[in-house]
Structures are given as C-alpha cells and as structure tokens.
Homo-oligomer: A and B are copies of this chain.
Amino acid sequence: MIQQPALEYLAHGQVPFFRLPSVPRPAPLPDGTDAVLLGATWDGGATAAPGARFAPFHVRRVSAFVQGFHPVHRVAVFDRTGAVDGGNVAFPPFDPAAVRGRIEAEVAAIAQAGAAPFLVGGDHSVALPALRAVARAHGPVAVLHLDAHLDTSGPELWGEPFHHGTPLRHALDEGLVLPGQLHQVGIRGAWGSPEDAAPGEARGARITTADALGAAGAAAVAARIREAVGDRPVYVTFDVDAVDPAFAPGTGTPVPGGLTSREALALLRGLAGVRLVGMDVVEVCPALDHADLTSHLAAHLLFEGLALRALRPGEGRGARP
C-alpha cells in the first residue's frame, strides 16, 4: 500500500498529494515510480483573476480524502502507478521564461524516466512547457484539451505570446501535437471574432462544445476520442473552467454553461485504455473557491487521470531520449 493509512497521515501533519510518498525533486524517483505529481505555482499568465499559484497547496490538502481503489476500473490506482508527490517546481517567480524553462526541465526529467507527469497548476500557461517536455520524451502527442476557451490566441490581444490564453497555439505551432489530434472539449461562451477558431481548425482541431457534450453524453464523446487517438500517446490538459462555475467556482475566468463534474469525471473515465503519458489540471484559484469545492474536484480529476495510467502502467518505458 502506497498511500499512508489515515492515522499516519494525520500524524504527519503535512499533506502530500493523496497521502503519497513525498519525493521532492531533485531526489531520484524510487524504483517502480510510474506517475509523479508536481505542483506549478505560477499564475503570471492570467489575463483576468490571478491566484492559481496557491492551488497545489490546497489540492494537496483535500486530496488526502481520496482513497486508492477505483471501483469502476477495479484497480488500486496508487499501487499500480507507484505514484509519488514530486513537490513543486522551483523557479524564480518574476522571470516567466525561467519559469517555463524549469517546468519543462522537471517534467522532462519525469517523462524521460518513463513515468507520467501529473502537473497541478498554476495558470494554463504552464501547459506549454509541460507539452514541450512530454513531446521531447514521446514525440508529438494527441492532446485532449478540456477548457471553456480555445487557448489558441496569439500575441495580438495582450501584446505577449506566452500567457494562459495561448498554450495550445504554441503547441500547434511547435508541432507538439499530432496532426488532427487536438481534441477540445467544453468550449463555449463568446469569442472575439469569427477567426478565433482558425488556428486550431487549420491543424484539424476537433471542437466539442459543452452543449455538444451534453447532447451526446460524456461516454459517447470519450468513445469518439478514444477511437480517434488509438494507441497514440495522449496528454490531457484540463483547465478546470471546462467545468461549469457552479461545480468549480474557484477559477479566474468562469464561463457559465459548462460541464457538470459528473460529465467531466465520466469523460476521463471513458478514456480507459488510452496510452496516457501526462496530464495537467490548471486554473484552480483557491481565493475564489468555496468550501474547497474546486480543489476537491481537481483532486478527483487527477485521480481519474492516474487511474487511466494505472490501467496501462509503464506506458513511458522506451520513450525516446
């Protein structure tokens, strides 16, 4: 049993993700580690309400209430993944380029060791270095992108190429995403212009709006994605604002009309069998949360991602150097 029993966890006082062993970088990963949780306390890329920098502390705290056995997949998630808490990425907090560099380095080290990184943001701009790192280890990947927003903006709106509205744009531009394998789910709300979707469409991004998901059902959407990605390596980047603010009030750019938490969890659960090589959950903003709802949700989303990995552990073995 990897997860600390409850009494021992209480005795420890501090809270690693899911009561897992704490292996702050740069300590070497223990043998058998197939998944590493990592915090990224950066919110300098927020265009609206900041505060996601504190998410890793709160998600850790409430993740202690999540147990280890997945009753649908019938798998002991932490045992099978040998998951550990890798601490937070250390970076100089006023140097955005260095932040990206350090995140990329840490995630790359994990991915190249054959384990799957699970990054807890921070704002969505942290997904870009994570994707760069994963693509370094695995080559271009299929990306499941859950979000209210397209996140394929360019620098024109705010005069800056790297903020939380642009990670997917760079990922596409840099060839980190396999052609036709950007799956965007949860999209909704108003756009700036009809051209907003153009950068994605040009690379074959497939948009499933929140409405479309509601109409088709999360299971059907998951099946469609599962079929589309086949055995390609998959990275999931989950902006918590894909979920409706009723379920995830603690986020900086809320858009009504989103997924229910049940749909979000079901979507991930429906991906059983895919080859998950990494995941992030971003844009959790504790200062705007109530009763830790959004942190609880983030913990469960991570658990679903870890369960996918548990169903196909060792997917990173043989990742190209």
Contacts and interface: CB of A to CB of B under 8 A. Distances in A.
Interface of A: 6-8, 10-16, 22, 24-25, 39, 41, 43-44, 47-51, 53-54, 56-57, 60-61, 65-72, 74, 76-77, 85, 87-95, 157-160, 163, 189-194, 196-197, 210-211, 214-215, 217, 219, 244-247, 249-250, 253-258, 260-262, 265-266, 287-293, 296-297, 300, 303
Given A11-B90, A60-B13, A158-B6, A69 B190 contact: yes
Nearest to A163: B94
A240 B247 CA distance: 16
Can you list the 10 inter-chain pairs with the closest CB atoms, starting with the nearest? Answer: A11-B90, A94-B160, A256-B261, A50-B50, A13-B88, A92-B159, A14-B14, A13-B87, A246-B246, A67-B190
Contacts of A191: 67, 69-71
Contact of A51 (B16, B47, B49, B256): B49
Nearest to A160: B94
Contacts of A210: 262
A71 B201 CA distance: 14
A13 B57 contact: yes
A291 B54 CA distance: 13
Contact of A95 (B10, B91, B159, B194): B159
B56 A158 contact: no
Contacts of A93: 10, 47, 158, 160
B159 A256 contact: no
Given A247-B244, A255-B296, A57 B67 contact: no
A256 B297 contact: yes
B90 A8 contact: yes
Nearest to A102: B11
Contact of A244 (B51, B69, B217, B262): B262
A190 B159 contact: no
A48 B291 CA distance: 13
- Specify which of A66, A217, A287 lies most central, judged by the most chain B CB atoms within 10 Å of its CB: A287
Given A11-B24, A14-B15, A14-B85, 12 more contacts: A12-B87, A13-B22, A67-B192, A69-B190, A70-B190, A76-B194, A94-B158, A94-B159, A94-B163, A190-B303, A254-B296, A260-B260
